[in-house]
Structure 1
Amino acid sequence: MTSPFNFEPLDIPAEYASLRHEVRDFLAEASSQWTGWKIGHSWTGFDREFSRELGARGWIGMTWPKQYGGHERTGLERYVVVEELLAAGAPLGAHWFGDRQSGPLLLRLGTEAQRQRFLPMIARGEAAFCIGLSEPDAGSDLASLRSRATRVDGGWRLNGRKIWTTNAQVCDFMIGLFRTEGSAEVEKHKGLSQFLIDMRSSGIEVRPIVDLTGEAHFNEVMFDNVFVPGDALVGSEGNGWAQASGELAFERSQPDRYMSCFPLLSAALDPICQQGQVDRLAARRIGDAVAELVVLREMSLSIVGQLASGHSPAQEAALLKDLGNSYEQRMPELVRELTDASAVMTRGDRLSELQAFLTQTVPTFSLRGGTREILRGIIAKGLGLR
């Protein structure tokens, strides 16, 4: 039977090894004082100074044209940099969404004025973006959103709510999806449009959602008659569903979808190996974990190649994210069993802090970027089961 999914192999050229070593050398020094708690946040950790440093080194907007502040390097060079940053648990949240999806969206569909204004700021690590998609009353059905943009003189008025918006309380801009015509009950996938929103606009209220760790990187965002100018529209009016769906292929295919817990596995292997002997069962479980990681990496690289070729592998990206979520969510328990560690956090112990943070946080991994149920619906459609 022919597979409905396409995962053509893609290799990283050997000549990129020097770039990998350059990033590793930088991170070896930069991470020397990072706590386990900070490393656990990885790409959701918000550190503007660190993002500006990456921008100065040319590691944000790597593939973009130089005229927009980019560096015209290949997608695989970017992949090398991202892999190393995630492997170290670097705090990337201040530029992550702008570099991964908002910038590429503007590059493809933005006006020339939008590109000239926003892309250089993102590439310098100076503009933090959040994504306004999910809504409180829509459940997992993104297309049933009710937040509305109404045309007025000079622009649009936005009203409604967004939820699960990562780092909205500290971001500068949002790309939000709003209904510009029709209704969710009649033609829910039609009449949607995307807008570029200044988070300092009058009428925006951000309500942080405190999680089990006592922190709040998820937020609910309220829009009360918020005005945005006419040039805030991104792409074509009414084409927001297709645009947002294309964005999600970028979001669901990146290494963060299987590497969020990698620093924990890496940190745990040192004390395990220092014991001198690893029993056969432990060796087998470590081998299984590494083998699964390699498979997920190969899938991710394949999707990167497809995106670079202009394809939109939404089903492949959904499959990778679902498998990656499951892999990541098993990692804290695997490490606990391998190290025989108690469920108590020891302050100052990097492995203990990392283990504690991720144990509390991994349940959210199957929510961000699309719930597991929605992803499996997309996968089922690819298999011809729906």
Structure 2
Amino acid sequence: MTELIKFLIYDEAPELLDLRRQVRAFIEEEKSAGRIKPGPYGWAEPSSDFSRALGRKGWIGMTWPREYGGHERSAIERFVVTEELLAAGAPVRAHWVADRQSGPLLLKFGTKAQREKFLPEIAKGECYFCIGMSEADSGSDLASIRMKATKVDGGWRVTGSKLWTSNAHRVHMMILFARTGPRGESRREGVSQFLVDLSWSGITVRPIINLAGEHDFNEVIFEDVFVPDDMVIGTIGNGWQQVTNELVYERSGPDRWMSTYHVLSGMTGKLKKFPSETRRDTVARLVARLWTMHQMSCSIAGMLENGITPHTEAALVKDLGTCFEQDIPEAARTLFPEELRSTFPENDPFNEALRYSTLYAPAYSIRGGTKEILRGIIAKGLELR
């Protein structure tokens, strides 16, 4: 069988270590000034002020061309900044999707006018995007979408709804995945992508309150919404290739294995006060897995830097990362049982982080593709099916 999966080890050069120090110093300045207050939500907290501050530092759109507001830095440099922001629990949620995948999608498939309009605003931390993929009764089976876009004079009329759309109530734009033609035998034909301004007439964003009692998800309803032709991304009918390219960015980054990093960090701190061989062994194994995820994800950043679209490798990182993220709170509850945690100070950061992570951990294996979908992609990439 052909060797189809390759991960390379990247040793950090001195300039990358210096970049890490710069990000850490910036985070400490923001904390000292009271502009950010890391909490149990970690990086999932949005802050427009912080996003704009990152834009001024040149840490959004880092790899993009300067003509579009970018900074022409390497994918590895962006990886370093991303990792440090997530480790610090910085409130990056507002601009996250736009920087992670919407901008790169427009760079690869968008028109020059689309790039000129949206990319500089994203890079400044002032334009935010959400993902218009999932639908009711579709979930990770994107090929089964029913959202329909019909050609009319000067554009398209869109009718249908998107479900579980994170952050739609806070952002400006959506990249919409819709059906524009016949399904074909594979169901992957006849689909396209559009840029949609969520303030347009006919769009309703309805909140979905999750089991934690919080508003993050939304249903976004389109009722005869007109989308002009200049908002088509790429080529009509080429949506499947485009959306799978986009998902590589969503699945391979540190945000897919660092969601519970603050719990792991908290465990290492608690070990100093409550040492035991079992706790040391378990935490050490988790730290080793963290380092493995770091190396694999960094390797994918290098592939993207070299123009490679690593579908299989990205799916593997997402699958392993999901398991890792879910194992951390499970280990924390076992190593530090409720009887022990009840002795910790009131509002102890470790307890708060563990409570939040325990509530949200089941969802980690859904976002960006379920385990079943990801393992199907991996099996196909390995020529096992």
Is the structural similarity TM-score above 0.5? yes
**Are the counterparts in 2 of residues 346 and 353 from structure 1 also a CA contact under 8 Å?**
no
Report SS of the residue matched to 1:224.
strand
- CA distance, structure 2, for counterparts of residue 62 and residue 147 of structure 1: 33
Report SS of the residue matched to 2:361.
helix
The C-alpha deviation readout for 1:115-151, integer Å capped at 9, x for no partner, is 1110010001001100101110224311111111111
Report SS of the residue matched to 1:171.
coil
- CA distance, structure 2, for counterparts of residue 12 and residue 61 of structure 1: 21
Q: Which amino acid aligns with 1:377?
A: G
- CA distance, structure 1, for counterparts of residue 11 and residue 108 of structure 2: 26
Q: Which amino acid aligns with 1:240?
A: G
Report SS of the residue matched to 1:138.
coil
**Are the counterparts in 1 of residues 30 and 36 from structure 2 also a CA contact under 8 Å?**
no
Report SS of the residue matched to 1:217.
strand
Residue equivalent to 2:47: 47
Residue equivalent to 1:267: 266
Inter-CA distance 347–144: structure 2 relative to 1 (3 Å threshold): farther
Q: Which amino acid aligns with 2:218?
A: N
Report SS of the residue matched to 1:95.
helix
% identical aligned pairs: 50
Once the two structures are TM-superposed, the CA of residue 336 in structure 1 deviates from its matched residue by: 2.4
Residue equivalent to 2:360: 361
Q: Which amino acid aligns with 1:217?
A: D
- CA distance, structure 2, for counterparts of residue 351 and residue 31 of structure 1: 19
Residue equivalent to 2:241: 242
Report SS of the residue matched to 2:61.
coil
- CA distance, structure 2, for counterparts of residue 50 and residue 229 of structure 1: 33
Residue equivalent to 2:321: 324
Inter-CA distance 56–34: structure 2 relative to 1 (3 Å threshold): closer
Q: Give the count of matched residue pairs.
A: 382
Once the two structures are TM-superposed, the CA of residue 39 in structure 1 deviates from its matched residue by: 3.4
Once the two structures are TM-superposed, the CA of residue 7 in structure 1 deviates from its matched residue by: 1.2
Report the aligned-residue RMSD.
2.0
**Are the counterparts in 2 of residues 130 and 174 from structure 1 also a CA contact under 8 Å?**
yes
Residue equivalent to 2:154: 154
**Are the counterparts in 2 of residues 172 and 198 from structure 1 also a CA contact under 8 Å?**
yes
**Are the counterparts in 2 of residues 158 and 224 from structure 1 also a CA contact under 8 Å?**
yes
**Are the counterparts in 2 of residues 175 and 194 from structure 1 also a CA contact under 8 Å?**
yes
Once the two structures are TM-superposed, the CA of residue 43 in structure 1 deviates from its matched residue by: 3.5
Report SS of the residue matched to 2:114.
helix
Once the two structures are TM-superposed, the CA of residue 346 in structure 1 deviates from its matched residue by: 7.6
- CA distance, structure 2, for counterparts of residue 260 and residue 315 of structure 1: 22
Residues 1:377 and 2:376 aligned together: yes
The C-alpha deviation readout for 1:93-114, integer Å capped at 9, x for no partner, is 1100110000011111111111
- CA distance, structure 1, for counterparts of residue 368 and residue 313 of structure 2: 14
Residues 1:280 and 2:273 aligned together: no
Report SS of the residue matched to 1:288.
helix
Residue equivalent to 1:181: 181
Inter-CA distance 102–35: structure 2 relative to 1 (3 Å threshold): closer
Residue equivalent to 1:294: 291
Report SS of the residue matched to 1:39.
coil
Report SS of the residue matched to 1:206.
strand
Inter-CA distance 292–224: structure 2 relative to 1 (3 Å threshold): same
Report SS of the residue matched to 2:164.
coil
The C-alpha deviation readout for 1:214-271, integer Å capped at 9, x for no partner, is 1121111111101111100011111010000001111111011111111111123223
The C-alpha deviation readout for 1:203-223, integer Å capped at 9, x for no partner, is 111122211221121111111
- CA distance, structure 2, for counterparts of residue 61 and residue 327 of structure 1: 28
Kindly report which structure 2 residues correspond to 1:54-69, keeping only aligned pairs within 5 A, or say none: 54-69=54-69
Q: Which amino acid aligns with 2:128?
A: A
- CA distance, structure 2, for counterparts of residue 120 and residue 98 of structure 1: 11
**Are the counterparts in 1 of residues 191 and 240 from structure 2 also a CA contact under 8 Å?**
yes
Q: Which amino acid aligns with 1:84?
A: E
**Are the counterparts in 1 of residues 97 and 129 from structure 2 also a CA contact under 8 Å?**
yes
Residue equivalent to 1:206: 205
* TM-score (norm: length of structure 1): 0.94
